[in-house]
């Protein structure tokens, strides 16, 4: 009976995942779109990232401490973004992708258009949903975060970051789309570089922002499907034609 129960539970989990995959593909019916089910990363102990701590100290007129008599923190070092509030790792752009894939097992999808299906939206803040997107010869990082910007009022923040420099990021445009129950919501913008720190992007509100009621309107049984499309910017395209 125990063996039967365990096998039956595994089959139910598989059916549930297949059903979620089918619902996401039904909502985003464009041919060729890939669907990735993303589980949340949750932490009960929030600690600011290196870039967030440095920014706060600078605003207060306090220089960040230098450990072991080291020089000033290298601005080209990128803090880990999975999750943003617990991993102490930092490194250069060239090794960000390998760190995320090898250490945190972040999925990476290829294609101009994909569907990001975030599960368990009901979990308390702070919670992150993260995936890498390989497209147009570059790697992008989609970060969906549930965070209380105001106490007692959690919000969802979704943004696309290029694993590259700000100059490279200016060459692209990304679009996030929510589509459910005959309602459609789109956000289109230029991605930010991971060198700029996603905490700053969220603090500035330069991303797709959803309050709880709006997120529930587009969610289905606690899952939120976000269509992602990346294109080259018009400026970059015109320069290529010349």
DSSP-derived pairing of the beta strands 127-135 and 108-110: parallel
Q: Which pLDDT does position 70 carry in this prediction?
A: 39
pTM for the whole structure: 0.72
- Exposed, middle or buried, 194 (CB in 10 Å: 0-12/13-18/19+)? buried
pLDDT computed for residue 235 by the predictor: 52
Q: What angle do CA 221, 226, 231 make, to 5 degrees?
A: 170
Choose among 62, 159, 41, 151: nearest CA to 105.
41
Sequence-distant (6+) residues with CB within 8 A of 174 are 140, 160, 188, 189, 190, 191, 228, 229, 230, 231
In this predicted structure, what is the pLDDT of residue 61? 40
CA 222 to chain centre: 18
Q: How far apart are CA 55 and CA 51, in angstroms?
A: 6
Please say whether the beta carbons of 169 and 159 come within 8 A.
no
pLDDT along the chain (242 residues), means of 10: 54 50 47 72 51 41 36 65 76 90 87 90 91 93 90 92 95 95 94 89 92 94 94 59 38
Residues 6+ apart with CB under 8 A from 207: 157, 158, 159, 187, 189, 201
Q: Are strands 127-135 and 41-42 parallel, antiparallel or unpaired?
A: antiparallel
Report how far residue 73's alpha carbon sits from residue 195's, in angstroms, rounded to the nearest whole number.
13
How many Cβ atoms from other residues are within 10 Å of residue 222's Cβ? 12
Which pLDDT value is given to residue 74? Answer: 58
**What pLDDT is attached to residue 28?**
46
Q: How far apart are CA 100 and CA 80, in angstroms?
A: 8
Continuous H helices in 73-133: 96-103
Q: What domains sit in the chain, N to C, each tagged with a CATH number?
A: 32-41+74-232 (2.60.210.10)
Q: Tell me the two tokens of residue 197.
A: 């720190």
């Amino acid at each position: 009976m125990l063996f039967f129960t365990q096998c039956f539970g595994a089959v139910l989990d598989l059916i549930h995942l297949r059903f979620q995959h089918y619902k996401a593909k039904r909502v985003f019916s464009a041919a060729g779109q890939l669907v990735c089910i993303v589980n949340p990363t949750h932490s009960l102990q929030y600690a600011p990232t290196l870039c967030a701590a440095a920014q706060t100290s600078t605003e207060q007129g306090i220089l960040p401490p230098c450990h072991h008599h080291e020089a000033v923190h290298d601005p080209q070092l990128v803090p880990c973004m999975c999750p943003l509030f617990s991993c102490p790792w930092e490194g250069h752009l060239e090794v960000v992708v390998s760190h995320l894939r090898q250490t945190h097992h972040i999925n990476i999808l290829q294609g101009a258009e994909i569907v990001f299906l975030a599960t368990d939206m009901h979990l308390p803040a702070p919670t992150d949903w993260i995936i890498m997107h390989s497209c147009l010869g570059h790697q992008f990082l989609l970060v969906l975060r549930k965070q209380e910007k105001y106490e007692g009022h959690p919000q969802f923040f979704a943004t696309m970051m290029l694993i590259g420099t700000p100059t490279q990021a200016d060459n692209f445009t990304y679009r996030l789309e929510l589509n459910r129950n005959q309602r459609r919501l789109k956000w289109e913008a230029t991605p930010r570089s991971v060198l700029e720190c996603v905490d700053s992007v969220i603090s500035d509100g330069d991303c797709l922002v959803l309050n709880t009621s709006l997120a529930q309107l587009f969610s289905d049984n606690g899952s939120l499907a976000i269509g992602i499309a990346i294109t080259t910017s018009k400026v970059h395209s015109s320069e290529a034609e010349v």
